[in-house]
Amino acid sequence: MLELAILGLLHDSPMHGYELRKRLHELLGTLRAFSYGSLYPTLRRLQRAGLIVEEQPTTPAPDRTAARSWGKRGKRVYKLTAEGKERFAELLADAGPQTWDDEGFGVHMAFFSRTPAEVRMRILEGRRRRVEERREGLRSTLARAGEQIDRYTRELHRMGLESSEREVRWLNELIAEEQREQRGPAS
Amino acid sequence: MLELAILGLLHDSPMHGYELRKRLHELLGTLRAFSYGSLYPTLRRLQRAGLIVEEQPTTPAPDRTAARSWGKRGKRVYKLTAEGKERFAELLADAGPQTWDDEGFGVHMAFFSRTPAEVRMRILEGRRRRVEERREGLRSTLARAGEQIDRYTRELHRMGLESSEREVRWLNELIAEEQREQRGPAS
DNA sequence: CACTGATGTATCGGCGCGATATAGTGAGGC
DNA sequence: GCCTCACTATATCGCGCCGATACATCAGTG
């Protein structure tokens, strides 16, 4: 998932690790943190795989507004390669099981505007199925164990159930919206 | 957190890995999965640390209702040692930062009935602070980026904000309930 | 008798986290 | 002119946990 996010952000413009992390934070807004401990190793991996390359600051770029006098040290700026773009498209098109769990779904949805409509649909529906399962699991636990289980645990499950119900409703709206658009794409 | 959960369940009665996992599922109800890939290694670790010991089925226990003719192979039954109980108490009393994030909080709350009241309070308040931070982060992002950000991302953040708000309210109720009980514990 | 599904233990590769180390840079205070 | 503080920036280490996978055994079914 980090891979998808990095590739997606780098698709817009070349960036270095630190900035990447900030953008990641804006994008995913506390939905997912992604520490340096995973960011930098992942960048390395992507570089080794040839999906991104380190960009030498040949042009010191004095045209940039408020250009910082950077470039003296460190600051490895990465950009996507052709393979990287391909890989990004692949990841976007993937609607596998990992895209319906909490983190996976959130990250992928953040790139929905670049995801093909039918993949979007499959992800949304997969996520809905997943949350419905969770909801049913909680319902049956609460119904079965009912009174006998621990008061706090019950409260915890009750809250989880409510959240699931709300998310299903939310997903239903999103799906309906998607259908509306697919039928009448005449903006 | 797995450690806390295992110790807690084993505190009630000796168990083997497979059953432990089932109970874990009931307890945490899809809040947290805990695969075998973490369960078994953790059991080993706890055993090495002397917190749990393997119990030999000296008595073939024919008195058990519907006693399975087990015992032929595998099935390592573990039980808590004195150190294990101590460690459990320590973990219960810990209200550190890890207890306010999503998973940590859920797991710990499942053992709230055995957690000292004041620790419970500190965890609840810590969690609230955490969720409030998340809420504020989302609010400011939505307010700042407002219209310009991606439609799907905005929807994602909107949903996250709503969840945060609901959870804060929920926590407030729990906290109020705790206070009510602390003041008048005369059931 | 073979198939299927639940019970049961175990390992492997890999992802991501949290803590930590190290340093250069800009701004403000005195 | 110097000092300190906060931010920018890269990097690594150990560890927890996951998903997949591989094995066995036992119970019920066709």
pLDDT of residue A55: 85
Which of A35, A154, A159, A164 to mutate: most B Cβ within 10 Å?
Answer: A159
pLDDT of residue B63: 36
Q: Indicate if CB(A102) is under 7 A from strand D.
A: no
Domain extent listing, chain B? 2-58+76-109, 116-183
For domain A2-57+74-109, give the fold: Arc Repressor Mutant, subunit A (1.10.10)
Buried b vs exposed e over B117-149: b needs ≥16 C-beta within 10 Å?
eebbbbbbebbbebbeebbebbeebbeeeeeeb
Interatomic CA distance for residues A83 and B111, integer angstroms:
49
DSSP state of A52: E
| Interatomic separation, CA of residue A49 and C1' of nucleotide D17, rounded (Å) | 25
Res. A67: pLDDT tops 50:
no
What value does the mean pLDDT take over residues A34-58?
Answer: 90
Predicted confidence band at B73 (pLDDT cuts at 50, 70, 90)? low
What value does the mean pLDDT take over residues B166-184?
Answer: 94
Phi, psi of A101 (to 5 degrees): -85, 160
Res. B81: pLDDT tops 90:
yes
User: What would the pLDDT profile of B85-106 be if each residue is shown by its tens digit?
Assistant: 999 999 999 999 999 999 899 9
Predicted confidence band at B128 (pLDDT cuts at 50, 70, 90)? very high
User: What would the pLDDT profile of B16-55 be if each residue is shown by its tens digit?
Assistant: 999 999 999 888 877 788 999 999 999 999 999 999 999 8
User: What would the pLDDT profile of A101-134 be if each residue is shown by its tens digit?
Assistant: 998 999 999 999 999 999 999 999 999 999 999 9
**Of 3.30.700.30, 3.90.1300.10, 1.10.10.10, 1.10.3720.10, which CATH number belongs to B2-58+76-109?**
1.10.10.10
As a whole-number percent, the residues of chain B with pLDDT over 90 amount to: 70
- Please calculate the CA angle B151-B155-B158 and round it to the nearest 5 degrees: 135
The answer to whether B106 and B32 have CB atoms below 8 angstroms apart is yes
Supply the mean pLDDT for chain B: 87
Res. A64: pLDDT tops 90:
no
pLDDT of residue A31: 80
What is the number of other CB atoms lying within 10 angstroms of the CB of residue A163? 18
Say if B168 is an interface residue toward chain A (CB within 8 Å). no
**Which residue of chain A has the CA closest to B120?**
A152
| Interatomic separation, CA of residue A10 and C1' of nucleotide C11, rounded (Å) | 37
The answer for B 125-154 residues in CB contact with A (under 8 A) is 133-134, 137-138, 141, 145, 150-153
What value does the mean pLDDT take over residues B153-168?
Answer: 95
pTM higher than 0.85 for the full model?
yes
pLDDT of residue A73: 53
pLDDT of residue B104: 94
pLDDT of residue B165: 97
